[in-house]
Structure 1
Amino acid sequence: MVIPGSDGSNDQLAQGFKPRHVTMLSIAGIIGAGLFVGSGHAIAAAGPAAIVSYAVSGFLVVLVMRMLGEMAVAKPDTGSFSTYAESAIGHWAGFTVGWLYWWFWVLVIPIEALAAGHILNLWFPGVDAWLFALLSIVALAATNLFSVAKYGEFEFWFALLKVTAIIGFIAFGFAVLLDWVPQRQVGGLGELLDKHGGFAPNGLTAVASAFITVMFSFIGTEAVTIAAAESSNPARNIAKATRSVIWRISVFYILSVFVVISVVPWNDPALTTVGSYQRALEILDVPHASLIVDIVVLIAVASCMNSSIYISSRMLYSLGRRAEAPQATTHTTRVGVPWIAVMASSLIGAGITLISYFAPEGLFQFLLASSGAIALLVYLAIAVSQLRMRNALLRNGEQPAFRMWLFPWLTYAVILFILAVLGVMLVTPEHRAEVTSTIGLALVISFVGIITARSKSQALTKKALEAGR
């Protein structure tokens, strides 16, 4: 196989993203099956109160992005929070967070590929879904091997289509709810609450449980700091993306979920079978609702898979640059693409896709469980890193150009909240396997990180002694 631009590598990434690429990536680059499919499961579990889970999760993400923005504006880096954790907490923390984050996005590749394979198999039943899933990974890995500018352009249009679809859904939904569309009347949220058990029919415990499901939809918002490092003005692009996260979450998640819970009864079985958005369109009597949603979801999962390959490859590249991954992962093409990191992440994602089809089901479920709490651990590392980096600046009499609000109280609040959620997961039977397997994986990676740090320290000491002879 000939890798595009594989000659003339200098192991440096290119600054090929334009501001509009970074903006669109920050708006919708990671919206995938988690929103279009996962929201139905959250609503079915918590009822209309699932919107509280989305609001709380969104507020947490806003605070985390503000903290990450403070660090990223000061020091843009492809390794992002992994690099900051290494500087602020220690080598083992950066090593652990980096590999956990890479593992998370490698697992997202097969999740999105499975969704794409399922949709394409419905359209072309003569071809097995697993083959479509593999072909989708191959196609999107290929797009990642071209220049980052071409990847940014490709993802820009994918994200724009998702934005257009979600805004169209929200606009049409509100028009019907306000009785602006003839012959399409629905009772609205008030009528559904009266008929189906109120706002939180399954209690607050179900709302807390739905929070875990919802968090999966939000992770990836922080990846814009990784992408911005490959733009011409990373500090400005990061600050802009961080400031816009509030309205992005409000529009794309909370408003669209509000439309769903105002149209679809929470106990409608179709929420977990055909999905929340398709069921809402069916109730709103939109022709070809299934086909419309399938097309939008296919675009969304392809976009998210594309982003997954990009994010995982850049994190692997960053780990390699810090001698925490094989040195080969730092090799770039002449147009600045870390092609070995792209290929490695894609091949492992493809292998896990095959495992989901041909290996015992328990193995795939175990792999998925190992990533269940990674988002929370990453957010915890971001909060602790920001706390320590800001304190270090204050001791030197300095202030960051882009600041976290109400420091240090909101930072402490985020840390305590995440620890509380992990504690709740640990005592909740349906989430215990996720948190225990993720923490177990984190401990193993941390142990490896400590060993490698010790080896690097001994090597540097030996080198210094030899130089002093």
Structure 2
Amino acid sequence: MNATAPGTPTESTTGGTLRRGLSARHIRFIALGSAIGTGLFYGSSDAIQTAGPAVLIAYMIGGAVVFLVLRALGEMAVANPVAGSFGEYARKYLGPLAGFTTGWTYIFEMVIVCLADVTAFGVYMGFWFPDVPRWIWVLLVVLVVASVNLISVKVYGELEFWFSLIKVVAIIAMIAGGAAILIFGFGVHDVSTGVSNLWTHGGFAPNGIGGIIASFAVVIFAYGGTEIIGVTAGEAANPEKTIPRAVNTVPIRVILFYVLTLAVIMAINPWTSVDSKSSAFVQIFQGLGLHAAATVLNLVLITAALSAINSDIYGAGRLLYGMAHKGQAPAAMRRVSRGGVPWVTVAAIAVALLIGVVLNALIPDRVFLIIAAIATFATIWVWLMILLAQVASRRKMSAEEQAELKFPVPLWPYGPIAAIAFLLFVFGILAYYPDTRVAIIVGVVWLALLTLAYQLWVRRASEDRSEDAHDETHPPAVMAADPATVPPTTSSEPELEQP
């Protein structure tokens, strides 16, 4: 699909059109909003407990893999910016079943990640209202954010820009404030602060290489969502410029934010004092006696959660919309409001998120770890499909076509191959550790159900459409007809678009 001007529809839909209303500014901050959220502000506590200060190495390695995944996605998105993005690329280069499983697994990923985000929101609100059941906050945030997503993509993009900007400013302030505490000793406290905290409490890698490896599960969860850049391609005002800018800047910013922020946190306070009951950010400032700062930070964490939830609902809804146009989701998902919003998909995602209300009412203490592990499986699968689709697309190109690529992936072919090997390794990590093994079980069952659904409904519907088209193209011959009156036949069948 060629790039169109802002405000023009991307394709015809039932009841309206999906409109291009996202600028480069919106896209960069949407990606940041999805990646810098619960994984950093809440999940980082588990990562620190697992690997100690050496978790910084895990985040740097994970960040390098994220960069390669996004560059592979960017190569395809610039060449062919479509609604549905990587689900469509998987279908085109790996086959209909791969496209079907990739699209639905990304939707599954976004729903699961969003469940983690709404759970974290409930935890943050508990900082101020400990007596209010968490599920009440979860229900409230689902209804509010879903309503925002139903207005228009431009309103969504603008809101996400300001949400993410608050997070970015807060992180920068956190790094600067932490540096001031380390250098000038601000705050009234009894705890020991200093860069030496990174290696004096059991060493830099207190749990050895095994701890670093185990932390990869949390690290990948934290970086999950950055691939939303590809989803925005269908609504980007100028994909050839906006997508490369976002792809090149977002991974670097994410890596810097994660690594610098966590380094400051573990330097201010020993990593052994960090637990998973609340955000490491709030714990650190409370431990330093800066209770007012902890309150402000909790407000920032709530904004961060809202931002991530906002991005998750957007990403899942837009991919579901794109799949509906390929016959891989119910046709009702193609319905678009007058404001250019696929409102049925947004509503469907919001209903799915009500599961989070039930889980937080039944198992509030275990829900986050289980959700994070399952989300990691889904993230790895989607990233693998992106990389494999890019490799397949390159293998189908001539040397001239490869030379004409406007945004080629770096380190080809070794970079994508190394990233694929790493992601397969993380699958093994999930299967090895008892706490995350449930993710493999759920993931395998999910993929099996998707394969069955594809065979029973999508493939059968595709075959029925093919037969109908064949009948219309080749009507039955008339017996004993004069050969001169029979129209000539062609040797090839017309091309039929597969879902």
TM-score past 0.5 threshold: yes
CA change 1:413–1:30 in 2 (3 A) is closer
DSSP-derived class of the 1:221 partner: coil
More displaced stretch, 427-436 vs 413-422:
427-436
Map 1:320-339 to 2 at 5 A.
Answer: 320-339=324-343
Residue 254 of structure 2, aligned match among 243, 249, 265: 249
Q: Deviations over 1:80-125 (max 9, x none)?
A: 1111111110100110011111011112333222222333344345
Hey, what does 2:295 align to over in structure 1? 291
- Indicate conservation of the 8 Å contact 2:111/2:312, yes or no: yes
User: Superposition pairs for residues 250-269 of structure 1, below 5 Å?
Assistant: 250-268=255-273
Cα separation, 1, equivalents of 2:31 and 2:373: 27
Q: Establish whether residue 66 from structure 1 lines up as the match of residue 67 from structure 2.
A: no
Give the AA of the match of 1:341.
T
The answer to whether the aligner puts 1:462 opposite 2:467 as a matched pair is yes
- Whether contact under 8 Å (1:58, 1:218) holds in the other structure is yes
Other-structure match for 1:100: 105
Q: 1:182 to 1:417 in 2, by over 3 A?
A: closer
Change (3 A) 1:372 1:322: same
Residues 317 and 346, structure 2, Cα contact 8 Å, conserved in 1: yes
Q: Equivalent residue of 2:17, what SS?
A: coil
* Contact kept in structure 2, 1:369 and 1:437, CA below 8 Å: no
Distance in 2 (alpha carbons) for counterparts of 1:364 and 1:452: 33
CA shift, 1:246, in A, is 3.8
Inter-partner Cα distance in structure 1 for 2:129 and 2:184: 39
The residue number in structure 1 matching 2:319 is: 315
Q: Classify the secondary structure of the residue corresponding to 1:257.
A: helix
How far the C-alpha of 1:180 sits from its partner, in A, is 7.9
**C-alpha displacement of 1:26:** 2.7
Do structure 1's residue 109 and structure 2's residue 109 form an aligned pair?
no
| Whole-angstrom distance in 2 between the partners of 1:457 and 1:90 | 13
Encode CA deviations 1:338-373: one digit per residue, 9 max, x unaligned.
001000110111134224314898899876654341
Residues 240 and 436 of structure 1: CA distance in aligned 2, closer, same or farther (over 3 Å): same
8 Å contact 1:51–1:258 — kept in the other structure?
Answer: yes
Q: Which residue, 215, 220, 229 being the options, matches 1:224?
A: 229
Partner of 2:492: none
8 Å CA contact 1:91–1:453 kept in 2: the answer is no
Matched residue type, 1:317: Y
3-state SS of 1:12 partner: strand
Displacement, 1:392? 1.2
1:189 matches 2:229? no
**Counterparts of residues 368-447 of structure 1 (less than 5 Å):** 370-394=374-398, 397-399=401-403, 400-447=405-452
Q: Quick one: which amino acid aligns to residue 325 of structure 2?
A: R
Give the structure 2 partner of residue 25 of structure 1.
30
Q: Aligned partners of 2:62, 2:24: CA distance in 1, in Å?
A: 27
Q: Post-superposition shift, 1:460?
A: 3.1
Question: Alpha-carbon deviation of 1:211?
Answer: 1.0
Task: Report which stretch shifted further, 19-28 or 56-65.
Answer: 19-28
Contact 1:144–1:151 (CA under 8 A) maintained in structure 2: yes
**1-structure distance, mates of 2:413, 2:375:** 29
1:47, 1:200 within 8 Å by CA — same for their partners in 2?
Answer: yes
- Kindly state the Cα deviation for residue 252 of structure 1 after the two structures are TM-superposed: 1.3
SS in 2 for 1:271: coil
Q: State the one-letter code of the partner of 2:122.
A: G
**2:485 aligned residue:** none
1:379 to partner: Cα distance: 1.0
Cα distance in 2 for partners of 1:342, 1:311 equals: 10
Alignment partner of 2:212 out of 204, 207, 213: 207
Q: Tell whether 2:41 aligns with 1:36.
A: yes
Indicate how the Cα distance of structure 1 residues 321 and 303 shifts in structure 2: closer, same or farther if over 3 A, else same. same
Q: Report deviation, 1:436.
A: 2.8
Read off the aligned partner of 2:303 and give its amino acid letter. I
Q: Deviations over 1:191-219 (max 9, x none)?
A: 5522x110111111111111101111111
Aligned partner of 1:5 in structure 2 is none
**1:152 has 2:196 as partner:** no
Q: 2:148 aligns with which of 143, 148, 152?
A: 143
Between the aligned partners of 2:418 and 2:103, the Cα distance in structure 1 is 24
Distance 1:430 1:113 in 2: 22
2:487 is matched with none
Using the alignment, how far apart are the partners of 2:28 and 2:16 within structure 1? 26
Deviation (angstroms), 1:226 = 1.1
The corresponding residue for 1:346 is 350
C-alpha distance in 2 between matches for 1:370 and 1:109: 12
Q: Distance in 2 between matches of 1:43 and 1:362?
A: 18
Contact 1:333 1:339 in 2 (8 A): yes
**Distance change (3 Å), C-alpha of 1:208 and 1:14:** same
2:124 maps to 119
The AA in structure 2 aligned to 1:52 is: I
Which residue pairs with 1:274 in the alignment?
278
- Alpha-carbon shift at residue 330 of structure 1 (Å): 0.6
* Gap change, CA 1:136 and 1:435, over 3 Å in 2: same
Give the partner amino acid of 2:60: A
Partner of 1:177: 182
CA deviation digits over 1:321-342, x for unaligned, max 9? 1111100011000111000100
Cα displacement (A) at 1:174: 2.0
Give the distance between the partners of 1:386 and 1:138, measured in 2 at CA: 37
1:75 and 1:133 map into 2 onto residues whose CA distance is: 38
Shift of the 255–243 alpha-carbon distance from structure 1 to 2, 3 Å rule, reads same
Shift of 1:437: 2.0
Distance in 1 (CA, whole Å) between partners of 2:460 and 2:187 is 72
Contact 2:23-2:242 within 8 A present in 1 as well:
no
Deviates more, 1:441-450 or 1:125-134: 125-134
Moved more, 316-325 or 112-121: 112-121
2:91 maps to which of 86, 89, 93 = 86
Cα distance in 1 between the residues matched to 2:390 and 2:463: 29
1:50-85 CA distance string (max 9 Å, x none): 111111111110111111111111111221111111
In structure 2, C-alpha distance between the alignment counterparts of 1:350 and 1:182, rounded to whole Å: 42
Gap regions ≥5 residues in structure 2: 1-12, 476-499
Note closer, same or farther for the CA distance 1:439–1:12 as it changes in structure 2 (3 Å cut): same
Question: Which runs of 5 or more structure 1 residues have no equivalent in the other structure?
Answer: 1-7
